[in-house]
């Protein structure tokens, strides 16, 4: 049996990649073959003659199943902007169906036990005029892990994101409180409030 999870966040910059890598390391320690994917990324630099996103590279390095970069991050754009705008700058058009098909192909052709698929930005990041990253997860029908960046306003962002995940008919497997190092006042109390409000268990990592 293979476990596959989609990693989303309450916002961009809340530590999705850090958490995804920690999950991969934890699964590896349990003896599992691990795979990390980031199908869509905006913000890249040229490495070995191709555009590569730093977060996708970290996932590639953290996984035990080694795949070519293009399999891990098939849609990669140089401009660090909302993905639909970064794509438009290059003349490309994104679609949920195409992204999901690419993910399914990699999953079908790879031998693994545990996989995390990291999204881009938050839950409602646009792909085009009518679709968001949410539509990719709907097509894949996989459970979601929410990364909550612990900062002022995160309770509201977390509750709204969970409500959206539920409204989209998807399963929240769990959530992770990621300490961003901002010396958040009443950090423990905020985490306790989230534990009371969010209808899924908190996943505790050694580094969180």
CA gap 21, 147 in Å, rounded: 13
Q: Are 120 and 133 in contact (CB under 8 A)?
A: yes
Write down the pLDDT at residue 184. 84
**Residue 180, both tokens:** 């961003």
Tokens of 36: 């990390």
pLDDT number for residue 208: 40
Which are the catalytic amino acids?
A: 38
3-state DSSP assignment of residue 114: strand
CB 136 within 8 A of CB 96: yes
Closest CA to 112 of 71, 148, 78, 74: 71
C-beta separation of 109 from 138 below 8 A:
no
Token digits of residue 27: 């699964």
From CA 178, how far away is CA 29, in angstroms rounded? 21
In tens digits, what is the pLDDT along the chain, a chain of 208 residues?
799 999 999 999 999 999 999 999 999 999 999 999 999 999 999 888 889 999 999 999 999 999 999 999 999 999 999 999 999 999 999 999 999 999 999 999 999 999 999 999 899 999 999 999 999 999 999 999 999 999 999 999 999 999 999 999 999 999 999 998 877 889 999 999 999 999 999 999 864 4
Pairing verdict, β 40-42 and 114-122:
unpaired
Domain spans of the chain?
Answer: 3-197
- Architecture in CATH for domain 3-197: 3-Layer(aba) Sandwich (3.40)
Contact predicate 38/133, CB 8 Å: no
Between CA 154 and CA 63 the distance in angstroms is 29
pLDDT of residue 206: 65
Residue spans of alpha helices (H) in the chain: 16-29, 54-62, 69-72, 83-89, 96-109, 133-140, 154-167, 187-197
What is residue 25's predicted lDDT score, i.e. its pLDDT?
A: 97
């Amino acid at each position: 049996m293979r476990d596959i999870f989609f990693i989303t966040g309450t916002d961009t910059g809340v530590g999705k990649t850090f958490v995804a890598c920690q999950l991969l390391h934890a699964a590896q320690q349990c003896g599992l073959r691990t795979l990390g994917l980031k199908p869509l990324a905006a913000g890249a630099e040229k490495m070995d003659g191709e555009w590569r996103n730093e977060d996708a590279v970290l996932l590639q390095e953290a996984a035990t199943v080694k795949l070519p970069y293009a399999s891990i991050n098939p849609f990669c754009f140089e401009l660090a902007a909302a993905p639909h705008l970064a794509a438009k700058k290059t003349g490309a058009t994104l679609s949920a169906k195409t992204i999901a098909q690419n993910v399914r192909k990699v999953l079908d052709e790879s031998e693994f036990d545990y996989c995390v698929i990291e999204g881009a930005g938050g839950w409602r990041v646009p792909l085009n005029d009518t679709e968001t990253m949410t539509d990719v997860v709907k097509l894949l029908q996989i459970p979601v892990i929410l990364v909550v960046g612990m900062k002022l306003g995160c309770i509201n962002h977390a509750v709204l994101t969970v409500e959206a995940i539920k409204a989209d008919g998807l399963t929240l497997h769990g959530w992770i409180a990621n300490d961003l190092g901002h010396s958040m006042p009443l950090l423990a109390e905020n985490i306790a409030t989230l534990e009371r409000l969010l209808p899924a268990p908190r996943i505790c990592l050694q580094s969180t």
